[in-house]
């Protein structure tokens, strides 16, 4: 009523101008009626207060309406934006998913699969550590910080660990004097490791030599297998000696006379390699040994440090010992200690497989910068079987290419498949980033496309939406190349989404010295012999390169002649070389031998049973080579026929046969042999000589 009266008072002047009369209004006040003209309303205090109250109520009502309507409106806006983003991204069909770290952690905890191994509060999947962990990324991105966080959890759980520490970082943070163990001949804290306690059977010595003497990819395996066989046989023969020592073993291999070494290995597989009948071959094998066994001479200097013998095998077998084993080196020691540390790490993995099966046990193998070690031949097998023994491998590397270069693509890819949890840090290389993107995975989505059409009339204009299924990488290459430091993508096992972690930098207290120098007394005699072998190992390197190339270096401009002419030329050159002593190389004939004793035992039976039996013993390519040699030389067998590689290659060129491997095997089986000679013009040649007596036996 008051509002109505106030309105009338406001329009009263207008009504007067329009000659409109307003009636008197009857207003009851305290049950008593009053008749008031509208023109008097603005003057009454009662009506003035009511008008102001109406204005205030309108303001308060607008404010309350805004407050109450804003949250629902904001939620509706967010819902619409989310729907729009989902439609713009496309509908997920299948493949790998990506989610935030908070949601993935919540999902793991909800599934009751949260492990007590956490990364800044983010839990890994329970018991997945036995499915192994990979840390990948370039230098300086935070790999060491991540490994240190995992080591904190391992130490808290009381698990045992073998830690390969290249620079001493983890030693200074985690080594406990009196509880943990350390192996490094240059460090005064190193244990007195005993070779013969570690390797007790012939296969143990064979496994040991595989890490000490790595393979040379692309070279003839003879120059790897022969030194391995010689070292393993010598060490195995010496294990029963009362005065056995590494010093004595090195003296035998490096400083002993050829006759003494031959006699010592006479009843072993390596007897042929040390024979004085093939002196240059034996010297070359010992040169390869010297190049790979330098680190053992430092162990010989620590044998008299009055410490009890230490054995990795026995330490692992004692499950009550909760200490850690550190395999350490500094940057300047790595090149020298690489074979030794590689052998220790390999023997630790093999020793784990000799333990009783126990999936509840936890033994960690922490190896940051795995490519800095020699090839671990048993690593793939150990990773595949480790779950039954409680083995957990934590491997770090900077790129996949490093592993492929050492292990080859055929072995590197299966090794990647054994790793179920992977942390991927920044990879600046385009090729490496592509490999990481492929490893993380891809997804198939239903992508929506809008198309617009315009006609002559606006009625014909329209928008059409089409859906198509496409496959896209979950993480693009550019995202991997632009990752910040301490940021990484985490790919978990099973069906959990991929997520990104932002690590917190932690500065850990140093509890030990990263390195404590040990003064070593090196055997000068062994040192001098190793240096001498290093200076004289050119023959071995030259022979390896020759075998890799498949032929002796020849002059490209040299005229190609027919086999008969080449054979005649070879005979004349040899006659000239024999008449001139200076033309003959000082090295005697190079005899190849079988790397396995069983193959040597088969040699005689392969040459006495006739042609049919020999075909069964030899491969097709070997038989072709031997038959070609015989065919070319059958008229002059009694004279001792000679032929160089070029003439032999000419025979089989049409069949496109690679005869390098076949001729090597024939030499090993004693059917032919090679003499390295220098012609009068200074060019090196290989002379293939047929053992005529043996060829006659089966050709008859």
CATH number at residue 421: 3.40.50.300
**pLDDT score of 595:** 28
Host H or E run for residue 145: helix 143-157
Q: What is the pLDDT of residues 429-447, one digit of tens each?
A: 999 999 999 999 998 887 7
| 226 is a domain residue | yes
Instruction: Tell me the C-alpha distance between 309 and 151, whole Å.
Output: 28
Q: What is the pLDDT of residues 159-183, one digit of tens each?
A: 999 999 998 999 999 999 999 999 9
Host H or E run for residue 217: none
**pLDDT score of 581:** 33
**In terms of domains, do 366 and 385 share one?**
yes
**In terms of domains, do 606 and 650 share one?**
yes
**In terms of domains, do 124 and 212 share one?**
no
Residue ranges of the chain with pLDDT lower than 70?
1-10, 12, 16, 20-25, 27, 29-30, 34-44, 46-47, 86-90, 217-219, 276, 303-305, 455-461, 465, 521-700
- Pick from 620, 587, 617: nearest CA to 694: 617
Instruction: Tell me the C-alpha distance between 73 and 81, whole Å.
Output: 12
| 534 is a domain residue | no
Q: What is the pLDDT of residues 87-118, one digit of tens each?
A: 666 677 888 899 999 999 999 999 999 999 99
Overall number of domains in the chain: 4
**In terms of domains, do 564 and 616 share one?**
yes
> What's the Rg (C-alpha) of the chain?
42
| 451 is a domain residue | no
Give the structural domain span for 224. 197-300
Using DSSP, state whether 469 is helix, strand or coil: strand
Neighbours of 479 (CB within 10 A): 17
Among the candidates 300, 316, 342, a domain finishes at 300
CATH number at residue 576: 1.10.10
CATH number at residue 224: 1.10.8.80
**In terms of domains, do 637 and 667 share one?**
yes
**In terms of domains, do 264 and 368 share one?**
no
Question: Buried (b) or exposed (e) across 62-97, using 16+ Cβ within 10 A?
Answer: eeeeeeeeeeeeeeeeeeeeeeeeeeeebeeeeebe
HEC letters along 357-416: CCCCCCEEEEECCHHHCCCCCCHHHHHHHHHHHCEEEEEEECCHHHHHHHHCHHHHHHHH
482 backbone dihedrals φ, ψ, rounded to 5°: -105, 15
**In terms of domains, do 614 and 688 share one?**
yes
| 401 is a domain residue | yes
Instruction: Tell me the C-alpha distance between 559 and 556, whole Å.
Output: 8
**In terms of domains, do 556 and 692 share one?**
yes
Token representation of residue 78:
């967010």
**In terms of domains, do 485 and 371 share one?**
yes
**In terms of domains, do 600 and 674 share one?**
yes
**In terms of domains, do 596 and 692 share one?**
yes
**In terms of domains, do 557 and 605 share one?**
yes
Residue for token pair 């001139």: 580
| 645 is a domain residue | yes
């Amino acid at each position: 009523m008051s509002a109505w009266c106030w309105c009338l008072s406001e329009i009263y002047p207008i009504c007067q101008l329009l000659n409109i009369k307003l009636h008197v209004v009857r207003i009851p006040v305290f049950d008593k009626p009053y008749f008031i003209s509208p023109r008097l309303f603005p003057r009454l205090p009662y009506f003035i207060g009511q008008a102001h109250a109406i204005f205030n109520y309108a303001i308060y009502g607008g404010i309350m309406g805004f407050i109450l309507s804003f949250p629902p409106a904001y939620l509706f806006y967010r819902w619409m934006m989310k729907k729009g983003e989902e439609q713009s991204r496309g509908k997920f069909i299948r493949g790998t998913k990506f989610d935030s770290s908070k949601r993935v952690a919540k999902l793991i905890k909800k599934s009751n699969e949260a492990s007590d191994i956490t990364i800044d509060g983010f839990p890994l999947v329970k018991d997945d550590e036995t499915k192994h962990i990979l840390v990948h990324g370039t230098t300086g991105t935070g790999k060491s910080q991540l490994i240190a966080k995992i080591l904190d959890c391992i130490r808290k759980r009381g698990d045992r660990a073998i830690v390969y520490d290249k620079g001493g970082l983890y030693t200074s943070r985690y080594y406990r004097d009196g509880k943990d163990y350390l192996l490094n001949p240059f460090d005064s804290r190193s244990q007195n490791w005993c070779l013969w306690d570690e390797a007790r059977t012939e296969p143990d010595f064979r496994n040991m030599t595989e890490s000490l003497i790595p393979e040379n990819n692309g070279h003839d395996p003879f120059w790897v297998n022969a030194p391995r066989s010689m070292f393993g046989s010598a060490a195995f023969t010496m294990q029963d000696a009362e005065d056995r020592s590494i010093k004595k073993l090195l003296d035998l291999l490096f400083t002993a006379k050829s006759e003494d070494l031959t006699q010592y290995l006479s009843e072993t597989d390596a007897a042929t390699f040390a024979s004085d009948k093939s002196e240059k071959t034996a010297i070359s094998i010992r040169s390869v040994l010297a190049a790979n066994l330098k680190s053992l001479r430092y162990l010989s200097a620590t044998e008299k440090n009055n410490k009890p013998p230490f054995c990795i095998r026995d330490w692992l077998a004692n499950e009550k010992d909760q200490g850690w084993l550190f395999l350490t080196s500094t940057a300047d020691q790595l090149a020298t200690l690489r074979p030794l540390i590689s052998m220790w790490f390999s023997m630790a993995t093999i020793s784990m497989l000799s333990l009783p099966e126990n999936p509840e046990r936890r033994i960690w193998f922490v190896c940051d910068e795995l490519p800095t070690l020699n090839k671990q031949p048993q690593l793939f097998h150990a990773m595949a079987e480790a779950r039954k023994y409680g083995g957990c491998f934590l491997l770090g590397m900077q790129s996949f290419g490093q592993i492929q270069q050492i292990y080859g693509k055929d072995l590197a890819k299966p090794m990647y498949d054994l790793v179920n949890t992977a942390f991927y840090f920044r990879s600046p290389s385009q090729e490496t980033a592509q490999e990481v993107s492929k490893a993380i995975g891809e997804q198939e989505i239903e992508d929506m496309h809008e198309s617009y059409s315009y006609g002559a009339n606006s009625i014909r204009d329209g928008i059409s939406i089409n859906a198509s299924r496409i496959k896209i990488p979950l993480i693009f290459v550019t995202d991997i190349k632009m990752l910040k430091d301490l940021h990484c993508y985490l790919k978990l096992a099973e069906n959990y989404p991929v997520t990104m972690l932002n690590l917190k930098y932690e500065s850990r207290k140093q509890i030990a010295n990263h390195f404590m120098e040990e003064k070593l007394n090196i055997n000068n005699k062994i040192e001098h012999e190793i240096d001498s072998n290093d200076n004289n190992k050119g023959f071995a390197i030259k022979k390896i390169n020759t075998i890799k190339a498949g032929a002796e270096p020849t002059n490209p401009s040299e005229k190609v002649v027919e086999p008969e002419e080449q054979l005649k030329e070879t005979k004349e050159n040899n006659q000239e070389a024999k008449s001139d002593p200076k033309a003959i190389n000082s090295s005697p004939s190079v005899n190849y031998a079988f790397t396995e004793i069983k193959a040597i035992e088969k040699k005689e039976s392969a040459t006495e049973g006739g042609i049919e039996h020999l075909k069964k013993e030899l491969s097709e390519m070997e038989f072709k080579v031997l038959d070609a040699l015989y065919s070319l030389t059958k008229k002059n067998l009694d004279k001792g026929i000679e032929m160089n590689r070029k003439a032999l290659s000419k025979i089989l060129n049409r069949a496109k046969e690679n005869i390098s491997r076949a001729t090597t095997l024939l030499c090993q089986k004693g059917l032919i042999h090679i003499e390295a000679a220098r012609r009068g013009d200074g060019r090196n040649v290989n002379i293939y000589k047929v053992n005529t007596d043996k060829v006659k036996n089966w050709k008859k």
